[in-house]
Chains A and B, each alone.
Chain A
Amino acid sequence: MIAIIQTYGSMLVQALGKTLLLTLLSLSFAMIIGLIISLMNVGKNRFFNFFGTAYVDGVRGVPLIVLAYFIYFGVPTGVKMMGFQDFRLTALQAGTIALAMNCGAYMAEIIRAGIESIDKGQMEASRSLGLNYVKTMRLVILPQAFRVMIPSIINQFIITLKDTSILSVIGFPELTNMGKTIAGNTFKSLQTWAIVGIMYMIVIVALSKVAKRVERRVNLGRG
C-alpha cells in the first residue's frame, strides 16, 4: 500500500483533480440545463411542456454509460457522415456533455419540485405589483425555491461526482481509470482499489460537511 502511494501518489492526485474538473464542468452545465428545462415544465406553454418532459424522460431512460458511448463514439461518426471530416470530441468534452445531460435531467426535476413547493400567493403578490413572469421568477420564486432545493442539489452533486467514474469507459484519465492502470501494472488490486475508494470517500465526506454548513447559513438568513 505504501509502495503504491509512493510510486503512484502524484498520478492519483492528478487523476482526482481530473475527476473534480469533470464534475465541476458537468455540474455547471447541468445547472443551466436543469434551470431551462424546469422552467419549460412549470410554465403553461404546451410546446415547452412537451419538450421539457421529453428531455427528462428521454435522458433518464438511457443508462449513463450508453449515453457516454453514444456521444463519444456515435456522434462524431454521424457528424463525419454528414461531411465534416475534421470533427472530433475529446474524452473530456464527450464526458462533460454526457454527464451534464444526465445530471441536467435530474436537476430539472429537483428545480421543478422546488418551484412548485413555493406558495402560489408569492407569484400572485409579485404579479399584482406589476412585475412580469420572468422578473417574478428571478426575484421572488427562484431565490426561495433554491433554499428549499439545496439539500437535493448537494445530493445530486455527490451522485454526479461518483458518476464520473463511469466515464473511465471512454478513456478519460480520471481517478477510476487511473486505478485500473495501476492495478493492471502492479497486480495489487486490493490495495489499489482501497486507496481509490478512500480518495473518493474523503472528497465526498468533506463536500457533505461543507454542504451542511451552507445549508445552515442559508436557513439562518431567513431570520
Chain B
Amino acid sequence: MAEGKTIISVKNLKKSFGRLDVLKDMSMDIEKGEVVVLLGPSGSGKSTFLRCLNQLEAATGGTIIVDGQTVTDRHTDINKVRENIGMLFQHFNLFPHKTVMQNITMAPIALKTMSKEDAHAKGLALLKRVGLSDKADAYPSQLSGGQKQRVAIARALAMNPDIMLFDEPTSALDPEMVGEVLAVMKELAADGMTMVIVTHEIGFAREVADRVVFIDAGYIVESGSPKAIFNHPKEPRTIDFLNKVL
C-alpha cells in the first residue's frame, strides 16, 4: 500500500504526434508502492501516457519527475532512469535470438549492475519466482504466451526496478493463460512494487488496484478507489464506458 512518498509526478503533460493532440493536459502523482490501473477506450492515450513516463515517447509539454529525476529534461540521463523502471508490453518483445536466461541477464551484464555469476544466480531466482525454473535454456519461440509474459516480467525485475509499467500485459494471451500472468502481478503488488497498469481486466483492478484512473480523449476524466469508480462512477463518460465493459 501507499507509503505517502511521491515517486512519479506528472504535471500538465501534453503529447502530440504531428497535428494529432493525443494527451491534452494530464497531471497525476503516484506514491511509492501504489498500484494504479489506467482504464479507458481504445485510442484514448493510455499507452502514450505510459510510454511518456519512461520517455519511449518524448513529451511535447509539461514535466514528469520520476524518483527525483526530471525525465522531461533533455539533460537527464534517461538510460539511468530507465534502469529503475521496468516495462511490460502487450506483445512481450522478448529477444528471440537469446535464451530465456540470456534475455534476463542481458541488461544487468551489459550495464554492469551485476557480475555474470550474480546475474545468472538472480536469473535462476527470478525464474523460480515466476514458475519457469525449467525454461532457462529454452528460446522464446518454444514458450506459450503466458510463459513469454512471465519471462518478460523476470527480465524487467532483473534490473531491480522500483517501478513497473504494464501496457495491456494480458491482451494478447489466450484466456486460459491470463490468470498465470495476473497471479505474478498480484504477488509483485503485494511485495510493494509501484505499478502503473493499463488493462481491461476489471476483476484484477478491483482486487489489486489502489487507484483506478479513467482516461478519455487525452484527459483524466475521473479517478478514485476501485470501489468509487466501479460502484459509484460520477462522470457520464465513465458510466458509459463501464456499461460497455462490465
Given contacts A128-B87, A130-B107, A144-B97, contact A222 B141 (CB under 8 A): yes
Q: Are B56 and A127 in contact (CB under 8 A)?
A: yes
Residues of A with C-beta under 8 A to B91:
121
- CB of B83 within 8 Å of the partner chain: yes
Q: Are A124 and B83 in contact (CB under 8 A)?
A: no
Binds B, one of A52-60, A72-80, A135-143: A135-143
Q: Are B56 and A128 in contact (CB under 8 A)?
A: yes
- By a beta-carbon cutoff of 8 Å, the part of chain B in contact with chain A is 54, 56, 79-80, 82-83, 85-87, 89, 91, 93-97, 106-107, 110-111, 138-139, 141-142, 152, 155-156, 159
24 CB contacts below 8 A, A to B, read A121-B93, A122-B93, A124-B89, A125-B87, A125-B89, A125-B94, A126-B107, A127-B56, A127-B82, A128-B82, A128-B87, A128-B156, A129-B83, A129-B111, A129-B155, A130-B82, A131-B111, A135-B110, A139-B110, A140-B95, A140-B106, A221-B97, A222-B97, A223-B138
Q: Are B110 and A128 in contact (CB under 8 A)?
A: no
Complex CA gap A143/B95 in Å reads 10
Q: Are A139 and B106 in contact (CB under 8 A)?
A: yes
Q: Are B156 and A129 in contact (CB under 8 A)?
A: yes
Write the nearest CB–CB distance from A173 to chain B, whole angstroms: 43
Q: Other than A121-B91, A139-B106, A144-B97, give 16 A-B pairs with Cβ distance below 8 A.
A: A121-B93, A125-B94, A129-B83, A129-B106, A130-B82, A130-B83, A130-B111, A130-B159, A131-B79, A144-B95, A144-B96, A221-B97, A222-B96, A222-B97, A222-B139, A223-B142
Q: Are A147 and B110 in contact (CB under 8 A)?
A: no
Write the nearest CB–CB distance from B33 to chain A, whole angstroms: 21
Write the nearest CB–CB distance from A148 to chain B, whole angstroms: 11
Complex CA gap A143/B107 in Å reads 16
- CB of A155 within 8 Å of the partner chain: no
- CB of A86 within 8 Å of the partner chain: no
Q: What 1/0 mask marks residues of chain A from 99 to 128 whose CB sits below 8 Å from any chain B CB?
A: 000000000000000000001011011111
Q: Are B97 and A143 in contact (CB under 8 A)?
A: yes
Complex CA gap A121/B87 in Å reads 11
Residues of A with C-beta under 8 A to B83:
129-130
- CB of A189 within 8 Å of the partner chain: no
Given contacts A129-B155, A222-B139, contact A147 B87 (CB under 8 A): no
Complex CA gap A121/B96 in Å reads 12
- By a beta-carbon cutoff of 8 Å, the part of chain A in contact with chain B is 119, 121-122, 124-132, 135, 139-140, 143-144, 147, 221-223
Q: Are B93 and A124 in contact (CB under 8 A)?
A: yes
Complex CA gap A211/B87 in Å reads 39
Q: Are B97 and A125 in contact (CB under 8 A)?
A: no
- Provide the main secondary structure of the chain A interface: helix
- Across the two chains, which residue of chain A brings its CB closest to B140? A223
The residue that A128 contacts in the complex, of B85, B97, B139, with Cβ under 8 A, is: B85
Write the nearest CB–CB distance from B165 to chain A, whole angstroms: 8
Write the nearest CB–CB distance from A140 to chain B, whole angstroms: 6
Write the nearest CB–CB distance from B111 to chain A, whole angstroms: 6
Residues of B with C-beta under 8 A to A126:
95, 107
Q: Are A223 and B139 in contact (CB under 8 A)?
A: yes
Residues of B with C-beta under 8 A to A130:
79-80, 82-83, 107, 111, 159
Complex CA gap A119/B95 in Å reads 10
- Across the two chains, which residue of chain B brings its CB closest to A128? B87
- Across the two chains, which residue of chain B brings its CB closest to A221? B97
- Across the two chains, which residue of chain A brings its CB closest to B137? A223
Q: Are B82 and A129 in contact (CB under 8 A)?
A: yes
Complex CA gap A119/B94 in Å reads 11
Complex CA gap A175/B13 in Å reads 67
Residues of B with C-beta under 8 A to A221:
97
The residue that A122 contacts in the complex, of B82, B85, B95, B141, with Cβ under 8 A, is: B95
Complex CA gap A144/B106 in Å reads 15
Q: Are A125 and B95 in contact (CB under 8 A)?
A: yes
Given contacts A124-B56, A223-B141, A223-B142, contact A129 B107 (CB under 8 A): yes
Complex CA gap A143/B111 in Å reads 18
Given contacts A125-B89, A222-B139, A223-B141, contact A131 B56 (CB under 8 A): no
